[in-house]
């Protein structure tokens, strides 16, 4: 229950110094114990809004502000950041920008130590935060030794140890596995309920936001597009599509059925509004089937694409151990064959070995035991440069890959190393920039771009190389709904051209839509490998790997007794199976 107003934003307009108008006439209030979800495409103003709430603006970034912001009655523009930090804590989407110490334990201790908290209380908070964020056992590890998802958990835990009155989360789960994401959001919900903490979450994960947020604010080009309860906001399908926000899959299903079947919208409005969860949607659909308003008209699914017999990647009994004070076995007896023209997704919990495995494909890591072959050749006998002609890897963090003075120079670099003529280089650069919609920034220094656009630059550099194997490591990181589909659609077109695509992702909706074959990794081992519909039926293995099937898949499996014969994976597949029953 909302007790009192904690955050007030009144007619906020902000323009960065020598930069664009970022926010325009933004108004809202958030109460004690309330969770506000902030949605919007990349560049909508979400991060700028968050920076206003903890003093990063104007302490770090300056500009011209109009309107007023209050947090517990304090104005961030007039309050020293050391005082504001005792009230508001922020977790950024790129965790590496927040780390200040040499190991995980000291990172978690750093904030409360600076607040002068009692030693025993600090230790209690560190133990609690490590447990709820799933990083117990990593306390002695260096942040740089962790996977992207583990780093994000550490950053969140460091924010929680501050026990602020206002917790501001900017894409706090973008690199987490599905179950880890749910766990983090559950922790956030408990903090709001038990500690009466005010939570503000900027996120692209609308299913979790819909489940927990008290209200949702949607930004578009710095303006408020809409604000309201989750049911009020997610019922506005056309508006959300226009501003690049993807509703939960079951909400999209309801909206598409309303377009297809006369009277369906009135039915869900009478039942309490647009459904947000699988259970709500199941009750709605099966109730309408029982009434005769809906019926299932099963349509056979298209067969999976044929697989080439031509092997392009072979992993033969590979084990890899990271050298450290306490050696870490990252791969255990891995064997995997990938064929030309496949679109394969490698999925699993943070730290399960996914990125370590694909780094072996490029010779970036050398197997402790076993052999990796690319197009029949042992990678240990090849140079990294020769492998790069066949295999391109787009890392989760693009900053590890970018080094040139402009976007164009970045894309040209690999092409010049191939010795291509100038006209071919120009053609490939232009095509790659057009693919990722970055033609207008070709002369910009890459690190002046947003994190999401830097990922697109790294992808463009890989695309331009025209590789036989294209590897995407977490294409959803820092990408909005449109951005993640742009990268996957590019990969899908490459597959149609006979290229092989390997994608590492925690986004099960994305995996379901684009990949044909799934490989599940758990604790450095492959525990399942097969067609996606078959893998999504392996409930115990999915659960043990901290994975959740897509909402539509869960719903279709629950509706087996109503005539849904196979596991469905996309909204459109289920829409096609439902017709007006005539009643």
Percentage with pLDDT > 90 across the chain:
56
Cα–Cα distance, 431 to 410 (Å, whole number):
14
Q: Answer yes or no: is pLDDT of 3 > 60.
A: no
CA distances from 480 to 103, 226, 444 (A): 31, 18, 22
- CATH class of the domain at 5-243: alpha beta
pLDDT at 193: 85
Strands 369-374 and 311-322: antiparallel
pLDDT at 204: 87
What DSSP element (H or E) covers 38? Answer: strand 35-39
CB 99 within 8 A of CB 110: no
129-175, pLDDT tens digit by residue? 898 888 898 888 888 878 777 888 888 888 889 888 899 988 887 77
Average pLDDT over residues 398-403: 82
Cα–Cα distance, 522 to 82 (Å, whole number):
42
pLDDT at 275: 97
CB 578 within 8 A of CB 311: no
Number of H helices, E strands in the chain: 24, 21
Cα–Cα distance, 390 to 218 (Å, whole number):
42
Q: Does 403 or 480 have the greater pLDDT score?
A: 403
Sign of the four-CA dihedral 139, 144, 146, 151: positive
Cα–Cα nearest to 498, from 342, 305, 311: 342
Q: What are phi and psi of 434, to 5 degrees?
A: -65, -40
Average pLDDT over residues 107-128: 91
Q: What angle do CA 504, 507, 511 make, to 5 degrees?
A: 65
Q: Distance between alpha carbon 570 and the CA centroid of its chain, in Å? A: 18
CB 468 within 8 A of CB 391: yes
Q: What are phi and psi of 558, to 5 degrees?
A: -70, -25
Q: Does 528 or 302 have the greater pLDDT score?
A: 528
Q: What one-character-per-residue DSSP string does 398-430 give?
A: GGGT--SSSHHHHHHHHHHHTT--HHHHHHHHH
Cα–Cα distance, 318 to 378 (Å, whole number):
12
Average pLDDT over residues 365-382: 94
pLDDT band at 1 (very low <50, low <70, confident <90, very high): very low
CB neighbours of 560 closer than 8 A, spacing ≥ 6? none
Q: Which CATH number is 311-550 given? A: 3.40.50.300
pLDDT at 480: 77
Question: Counting every residue, how long is the chain?
Answer: 583
Based on its alpha-carbon atoms, the radius of gyration of the chain, rounded to whole angstroms, reads 24
Can you tell me whether residue 503 is helix, strand or coil?
Answer: strand
Percentage with pLDDT > 70 across the chain:
99
Cα–Cα distance, 118 to 255 (Å, whole number):
53
| Equal CATH topology for 5-243 and 311-550 | yes
Cα–Cα distance, 370 to 325 (Å, whole number):
23
Cα–Cα distance, 429 to 86 (Å, whole number):
48
CB neighbours of 82 closer than 8 A, spacing ≥ 6? none
pLDDT at 325: 67
Q: Answer yes or no: is pLDDT of 2 > 50.
A: no
308-337, pLDDT tens digit by residue? 889 999 999 999 998 876 688 999 999 999
CB 400 within 8 A of CB 415: no
CB 151 within 8 A of CB 113: no
Cα–Cα distance, 555 to 71 (Å, whole number):
41
**Partners of 198 in the beta sheet?**
166
CA distances from 157 to 106, 107, 131, 227, 300 (A): 12, 9, 9, 29, 47
Average pLDDT over residues 378-386: 89
**Partners of 38 in the beta sheet?**
202, 217
Q: What are the helix (H) ranges across 100-176?
A: 104-114, 119-132, 148-160
Cα–Cα distance, 540 to 557 (Å, whole number):
15
Average pLDDT over residues 460-470: 90
How high is the mean pLDDT of the chain? 90
Sign of the four-CA dihedral 416, 422, 424, 427: positive
Can you tell me whether residue 88 is helix, strand or coil?
Answer: strand
pLDDT at 237: 95
288-304, pLDDT tens digit by residue? 999 999 999 998 888 88
Average pLDDT over residues 411-430: 91
CB 59 within 8 A of CB 217: no
Range of weakest confidence among 45-54, 174-183, 349-358? 174-183
Q: Distance between alpha carbon 325 and the CA centroid of its chain, in Å? A: 32
The span from the first CA to the last CA of the chain, in angstroms, equals 41
Average pLDDT over residues 506-512: 90
pLDDT band at 568 (very low <50, low <70, confident <90, very high): very high
**Partners of 337 in the beta sheet?**
314
Structural domain spans, the chain: 5-243, 249-301+553-580, 311-550
């Amino acid at each position: 229950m909302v007790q009192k107003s904690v955050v007030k934003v009144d007619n906020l307009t902000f323009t960065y110094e020598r930069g664009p108008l970022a926010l325009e006439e933004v108004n809202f209030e958030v109460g004690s114990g309330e969770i506000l979800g902030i949605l919007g495409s990349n560049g909508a103003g979400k991060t700028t809004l968050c920076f206003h709430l903890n003093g990063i603006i104007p302490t770090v970034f300056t500009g011209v502000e109009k309107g007023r912001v209050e947090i517990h009655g304090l104005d961030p523009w007039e309050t020293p950041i050391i005082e504001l930090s005792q009230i508001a804590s922020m977790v950024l989407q790129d965790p590496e920008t927040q780390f200040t110490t040499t190991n995980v334990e000291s990172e978690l201790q750093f904030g409360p130590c600076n607040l002068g908290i009692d030693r025993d209380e600090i230790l209690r908070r560190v133990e609690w935060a490590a447990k709820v964020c799933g990083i117990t056992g990593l306390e002695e590890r260096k942040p740089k030794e962790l996977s992207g998802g583990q780093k994000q958990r550490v950053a969140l835990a460091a924010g929680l140890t501050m026990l602020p009155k206002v917790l501001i989360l900017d894409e706090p789960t973008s690199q987490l596995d599905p179950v880890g994401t749910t766990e983090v959001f559950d922790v956030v919900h408990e903090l709001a309920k038990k500690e009466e903490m005010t939570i503000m979450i900027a996120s692209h994960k609308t299913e979790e936001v819909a489940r927990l947020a008290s209200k949702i604010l949607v930004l578009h080009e710095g303006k408020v597009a809409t604000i309201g309860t989750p049911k009020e906001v997610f019922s506005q399908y056309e508006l959300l599509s226009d501003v690049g926000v993807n509703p939960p899959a079951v909400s999209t299903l309801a909206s598409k059925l309303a377009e297809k079947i006369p009277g369906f919208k009135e039915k869900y409005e009478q039942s309490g509004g647009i459904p947000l969860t699988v259970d709500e949607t199941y009750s709605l659909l099966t109730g309408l089937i029982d009434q005769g308003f809906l019926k299932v008209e099963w349509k056979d699914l298209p067969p999976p694409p044929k697989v080439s017999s031509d092997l392009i990647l072979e992993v033969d009994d590979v084990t890899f151990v990271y050298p450290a004070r306490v050696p870490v076995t990252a791969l255990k007896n891995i064997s995997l064959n990938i064929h030309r023209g496949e679109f394969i997704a490698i999925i699993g919990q943070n730290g399960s070995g996914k990125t370590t495995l694909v780094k072996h494909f490029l010779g970036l890591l050398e197997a402790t035991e076993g052999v990796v072959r690319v197009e029949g050749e042992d990678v240990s006998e090849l140079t990294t440069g020769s492998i790069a002609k066949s295999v391109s890897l787009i890392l989760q963090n693009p900053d590890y890959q970018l080094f040139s003075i402009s976007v164009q120079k970045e894309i040209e670099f690999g092409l010049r190393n191939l010795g291509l003529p100038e006209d071919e280089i120009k053609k490939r650069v232009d095509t790659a920039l057009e693919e990722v919609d970055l033609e207008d920034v070709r002369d910009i220094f890459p690190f002046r771009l947003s994190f999401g656009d830097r990922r697109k630059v790294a992808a463009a550099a890989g695309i331009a190389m025209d590789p036989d194997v294209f590897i995407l490591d977490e294409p959803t990181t820092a990408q909005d709904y449109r951005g993640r589909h742009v990268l996957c659609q590019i990969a899908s077109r490459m597959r149609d051209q006979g290229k092989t695509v390997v994608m590492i992702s925690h986004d099960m909706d994305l995996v379901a839509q684009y990949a044909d074959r799934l490989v599940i990794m758990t604790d450095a081992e492959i525990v399942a490998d097969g067609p996606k519909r078959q893998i999504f039926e392996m409930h115990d293995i999915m659960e043990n790997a901290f994975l959740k099937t897509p909402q539509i898949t869960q719903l279709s499996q629950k509706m087996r007794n109503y005539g849904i014969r196979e596991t469905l994976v996309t909204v459109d597949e289920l829409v096609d199976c439902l017709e007006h029953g005539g009643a």
